[in-house]
Every structure is written in structure tokens, then in C-alpha cells.
Structure 1
Amino acid sequence: MSLDKGLNKAMGDRHEAYVAEVLGQRQTRGSGNQWRDQMDSKHDRTSCVFAFANDGKSTLGKGVTITRAMWAKALEQAGGERPMLTLRWYADASLTKVDIDLAACDLLDFAEMREDAERWHRAKELLQTLVEINPRCMPVLVARVRTLLEGAA
């Protein structure tokens, strides 16, 4: 294996592992080269609302080209999850410093996530107040809200 191929594999492996960890995804076998389990990492759409399938691109160079064909392939291979491309620029060949980490997704997916985040932000204060008041007539609701708040913290 040439140095370039080894370095490219190391860059890709580190990036894929990082994205999967940060997003709470499962890494696919063989970096998505299995016909039944494509993309680099995925959420399970049956267990979360915003389930993404990621295809990562990393470089030491000045840029990463994203094409319509690349996006179409990600859309097809996402297998029901929302497609995402993650882009990483490493600072040097030691791969110990990252200059830029980006995620590209469909604008409407992003808008939906943002809307949900804003709705949660507005509801959180009300829910916290409800827990603090702890009305005796609603112990089940208070317990459920407490659970939700602890999970969101």
C-alpha cells in the first residue's frame, strides 16, 4: 500500500469514527461497501426522529468537491435515513489537528430540526416550572416531565 493510500485510509477512518461517536451513530461495516449497509455511519430511523446516514469526506488539501452525483448517491444509499455529507480538513499529515469539520444536509431537514429545537427551547422553561411547582393533582405528568428534562440536559 502506498503512503498516499495509507494516509487517505487513516484520514477516512479517523473521520468516520469521530462522526459516528459525536452523532451517536453506528459505523457500517467496511465503510459502507456492503450492498445492504451503505454509507459510513447511520442512525436507526425506527428509534429516532432525526435519523441520518453519513458519508464522510476528508482531506489535507484546499477543498472538497461535492457534486450532484455525490448527493444523489448519498440520497439513494441512505436507505430511508436522511442523507448527510460530513467534510473534514486536517491541518497536517499527523492527523492530530482538525482545521474544519462541517456537515451538509438537506435544507428542509435542517429547518425541521431547527424548528423542533426552538419549540423545545420554548417549552423547556414551562416544563421546568411545572416540575418546581409539583402540583399534587399531576404526579404522573410531573414524573414524565422530569424524565424528559433529565434526558435533555
Structure 2
Amino acid sequence: MTLDKGLNKRMGDAHEQRLAEVLGMRQTRGSGNQWRDQMDAKHDRTACTFAFAVDGKSTLAKSISITRAMWEKAGEQASGELPMLALRFYNNASLEVHADLAVCDLLDFAEMREAAENWHKAKPILQALVERHPRCIPVLVGLAQQLINADQ
């Protein structure tokens, strides 16, 4: 499927803008074509635990190929952030989105999932501490200690 350059640019620009918005990233200048600021959008690794650098790929076609070379390039260009490839399928030239997908390293995903699970377990403890139930404090401290020990 051949696309005019204007449509290709609109597809890419819309995708990159949405990636930055949804993931809380900053868009890189020139779609990452600057040697010192590659990829399409990035987190600041000094400001968040799971900082990603993302390269977006979008299409009107039925498939998008991901190659080893593409993944290796993303890893090199991430410059310290975790690499991610974002894939967007459009339904039509009106840029109606069919699906937005994210590809990342399995171990990075597992680490994020574990962190989310730990937060889910810790949240009630923190909520109870905020509500200041004095009788609960020794129990809450004990539960917090169990969570900390389980993580080690």
C-alpha cells in the first residue's frame, strides 16, 4: 500500500503526539532525527522509575514487521531509558485508530508488573496510616515489614 508523504506524516505526527500524552513523555525534536535526542518520545530517567524511550510505527496496512535490527536500534537509541516500540494501526485515512500496541522487553514488563503488584498490596496500609487509626499502627507496621521482607 503506497501512501502520500502528507498522509504518512499526519499518521506519524498523530501517533507521536498521543504517545507523549498518554505516557507522560516529551516528544523529541524532529521525530528523533537529532543525534543527541533520538527516538520519538522519552521519559526523563532522573524523574521516574520506569523511564522509556519510544519509537512509534504506524500504518494503514494489515501488519507491521518488527525486526531484530529495529529492536537493537531502539535499544541503542534509548540512551539509558528502557526501549519501547509503539505500533499503531489506523482504519482509514481519516486517522481512525484501530489499535495501539506497545512492545517492550519481557523482563522490564515483569519488573513493572511486580512494582504495580507491590503498590497494590501496600496501598491499604498507606491509606490506613493516612487515616491515623492509632490502634492499627502496630499491625500496619508489621504488614509493611512483611512486604519489605518479601521484596528482598
Gaps of 5+ in 2: 138-152
In the alignment, which residue of structure 2 is the partner of 1:53?
53
Worse-superposed segment, 123-132 or 42-51: 123-132
Q: Structure 1 stretches (4+) deviating beyond 4 angstroms?
A: none
Amino acid at match of 1:119: N
In the alignment, which residue of structure 2 is the partner of 1:110?
109
In the alignment, which residue of structure 1 is the partner of 2:141?
none
Q: How does 1:85-124 map to 2 (within 5 A)?
A: 85-95=85-95, 97-124=96-123
In the alignment, which residue of structure 2 is the partner of 1:42?
42
Amino acid at match of 1:69: A
**Secondary structure, aligned partner of 1:103:** strand
Q: Counterparts of 1:70 and 1:59 in 2: how far apart (Å)?
A: 16
In the alignment, which residue of structure 2 is the partner of 1:76?
76
Q: Counterparts of 2:100 and 2:35 in 1: how far apart (Å)?
A: 28
> What is the TM-score of this pair, normalised by structure 1?
0.84
Q: Counterparts of 1:15 and 1:70 in 2: how far apart (Å)?
A: 18
Q: Counterparts of 1:30 and 1:9 in 2: how far apart (Å)?
A: 12
Q: Counterparts of 1:11 and 1:66 in 2: how far apart (Å)?
A: 18
Q: Counterparts of 1:37 and 1:80 in 2: how far apart (Å)?
A: 12
In the alignment, which residue of structure 2 is the partner of 1:20?
20
Q: Counterparts of 1:69 and 1:90 in 2: how far apart (Å)?
A: 24
Q: Counterparts of 2:10 and 2:51 in 1: how far apart (Å)?
A: 26
Amino acid at match of 2:59: T
The offset of 1:134, in angstroms, is 4.8
**Secondary structure, aligned partner of 1:62:** coil
**Secondary structure, aligned partner of 2:55:** strand
Q: Counterparts of 1:115 and 1:40 in 2: how far apart (Å)?
A: 27
- State the number of aligned residues: 135
**Secondary structure, aligned partner of 2:44:** coil
The offset of 1:4, in angstroms, is 1.2
Amino acid at match of 2:46: T
Gaps of 5+ in 1: 139-153
Sequence identity (%): 73
**Secondary structure, aligned partner of 1:94:** coil
Amino acid at match of 1:61: A
